[in-house]
Amino acid sequence: ILYHMGIVYTNLENYPQALAAYQQALSLSRTLGTRETEGDILAGMGKLYDTQNQSELAITFFKQSVNVREGIRKDLKVLPVEQQQSFTDTVAEDYRRLADLLTQQNRNLEALRVLDLLKVQELQDYLSNVRGDDNTVDGITELTEEQEILKGTQPIIDQAIALGQELSELETIPNHKRTQTQQQRIIQLRKNQAQLTKDFQNFLKSPEVEARLAKLRETTEAENLDLKKYAKRLQEQLQQLEQDAVILYPLVLDDRLELVLVTPYAPPIRRTVKVKQKDLERAIKNFRRLLANPARNARTPAEQLYDWLIKPIEADLAKANAKTIIYAPDGKLRYIPLGALYDGEQWLIERLRVNHITALSLTSLDNKPTPQLDVFAAAVTKAHTIPVGEDESRYFAPLSFTQPEVESLAETLPNTTTLIDKQFHGDTIYQMNDYSVVHLATHAVFKKTKQDSIILFGDGSHVTLTEVEEKWDLSNVDLVVLSACQTGLGGELGDGKEILGFGYLMQNAGADAAIASLWSVNDKGTQALMNKFYQVLKQGNVTKAEALRQAQIAFISSKVGSGFEHPYFWAPFILIGNGL
């Protein structure tokens, strides 16, 4: 109740009363040990100070909220399902708000860390049981001044907890049974409680806190040891890849787009693009619509999106001599291929490799692939109708080019086992871990919930992403290819969590990387592109990301025959995970 009173008072702009309610709620939640509520209250305090344009205090409380919640995620699997769900409902929005505040202050390293944790949180929203690990449990570094402010509030909260415990015990005694001493003590404790609330407010307005906030405004991230280590680790990761790689994290906000770029030899760079979310999303939807029709020219929206996503960092990419973009898209940006952006003269993929990731903290970028290419290749050719819900069914059209696709693959790579139609069924998943590459030329549909997202088998049965999560072991697999996936069906674009979720599930099952298509190209085009991809990969000393890029360039330059130059044919294929 106190927490909700804090929200109401904030909305009514009665800020002292809001803070009083939050402080009492915080003391109570710590007494009861309800960490989810504690995280919500701290985020509420962050919003309260953000509303009053007190960014440093807002960041301090939002950060503590993030760290409480990341601590919870470590133990998430032991929580009941309904508590898991309540944990995920509003958290992503709070992470986004903190990243917004940090980018406004040019605190780019901290923003990058929050953006990474936001990706993990979005996976949690989609999959429900993404557990924290050693990379996420520490949350986000609290700067020295922030720690001191929080330390200053602690004695007041400790007193409030002790006082609250005594008061609640006395209040359990019915009125008519209380002694005079007990009644006097209750009155005194309530007075003390009111005084502690006042002390809490006064401390946050005190000259000591003001001095610390002023220092925060002047402090650079480079002065913090933990952030220095984090920056160094990111830069070393990029250097060790030897791919001239940079990391790009866009953040889509209501009033602007923030681009956070990490390069191998410099601190993170932030570029702000003045484009409203609704305008960006309109352009994404239009681009996606034109990409899906090879008879339409997609270059105009491709150029507009290039101007928003790449042009602001063009000079930074050139300075870093970038050849690879490791890309963690945000929201609806997940539905469009970065490589299909157009600079007025050429497509981005002609200049740069693109390697998607779910989140940095969940991706091992430097695992080297197995030299030997042993391939498990399955194809579904026939039409199937499968039940969906009680009274509905879904029809899947025949895929006439999938059999030639896997047969051609077997010619290119002799160590290939092919399974056609009924040979590919639910039990064959237990063979997949004997191969370095798993290639599935079948219908796969990724929708807004993992229960509705399916991969079709050749005998007409199917597996949902929920079952993939439970049953698939791909710990020996370097690459999973799904060559006929569909996302954003019927032009309905969500927030792209299903694409993020698929990539994570493949990694979580043990695979280093996955290639998926953002839309299905039921055409010999897919066969030709996959054929070219494996021909390049077979050469050795070529990364998966580069092999995919070369296959796409072969289409653009008509080297695989004319008629495939439109991005409809080559652009849907994206690589998620380790691109080596």
Mean pLDDT of 342-348: 97
446: closest CA among 395, 392, 482? 482
| Average pLDDT, integer, range 4-20 | 94
Query: How far is it, in rounded angstroms, from Cα 234 to Cα 248?
Result: 12
In three-state secondary structure terms, 43 is helix
pLDDT digits (tens, 9 = 90+) for 468-506: 988 999 999 999 999 988 875 555 778 888 888 888 889
Tell me the pLDDT tens digit for each residue of 269-298: 999 999 999 999 999 999 999 998 999 999
Task: Give the helix, strand, coil percentages of the chain, each rounded to 5.
Answer: 55, 15, 30
Q: How far apart are CA 130 and CA 321, in angstroms?
A: 36
Average pLDDT over residues 533-540: 93
On the question of pLDDT at 562 being above 80, the answer is no
Instruction: Write out pLDDT tens, residues 360-393.
Output: 878 888 888 878 899 999 999 999 998 876 678 8
pLDDT of res. 388: 73
Spatial distance between the Cα atoms of 117 and 139, rounded to a whole number of angstroms: 8
Distance (Å, whole) CA 86 – CA 125 = 10
Q: Which residue is listed with tokens 């050693």?
A: 134
Question: CA-CA-CA-CA torsion for 150, 98, 135, 230, nearest 10 degrees?
Answer: -80
Instruction: Please tell me what DSSP assigns to residue 557.
Output: T
Per-domain boundaries in the chain: 1-228, 242-356, 375-577
Query: Which tokens hold the place of 310?
Result: 């790449």
Q: pLDDT at position 448, please?
A: 77
User: DSSP code of 449?
Assistant: S
**Structure tokens belonging to residue 114:** 């929050």
Q: For residue range 222-247, what is the model confidence (pLDDT) as tens digits?
A: 667 788 888 888 899 899 888 999 99
436-479 residue pLDDT tens: 999 999 999 888 778 888 999 999 999 998 899 889 999 999 99
CB 310 within 8 A of CB 348: yes
Please give the Cα distance from 454 to 446 (Å, whole number): 7
Count of CA atoms in the C-beta half-sphere (13 A) of 71: 12
Task: Report the candidate in 385, 115, 87 with the shortest Cα–Cα distance to residue 234.
Answer: 115
Helical packing angle, 2-11 and 15-32, nearest 10°: 160
Nearest to 230 by CA among 268, 270, 269, 272: 268
Q: How remote is the C-alpha of 442 from its chain's centroid?
A: 26
Average pLDDT of 540-560? 91
For the segment 156-162, the average pLDDT, to the nearest whole number, is 90
Pairing of strands 462-464, 479-487: unpaired
Largest Cα separation within the chain, whole Å, is: 96
Residue pair 332/309 in contact (Cβ under 8 Å)? The answer is no
Token representation of residue 406: 């896997």
Identity of residue 82: E
CATH of the domain spanning 375-577: 3.40.50.1460
Q: pLDDT per residue over 82-117, tens digit each?
A: 655 555 657 889 999 999 999 999 999 999 999 999
CATH topology of domain 242-356: Nucleotidyltransferase; domain 5 (3.30.420)
CA–CA separation, 504 vs 511, rounded Å?
10
Which letter does DSSP use for residue 433 in this model? G
- CA–CA separation, 479 and 355 (whole Å): 13
Lowest model confidence (mean pLDDT) among 62-71, 82-91, 287-296, 409-418 = 82-91
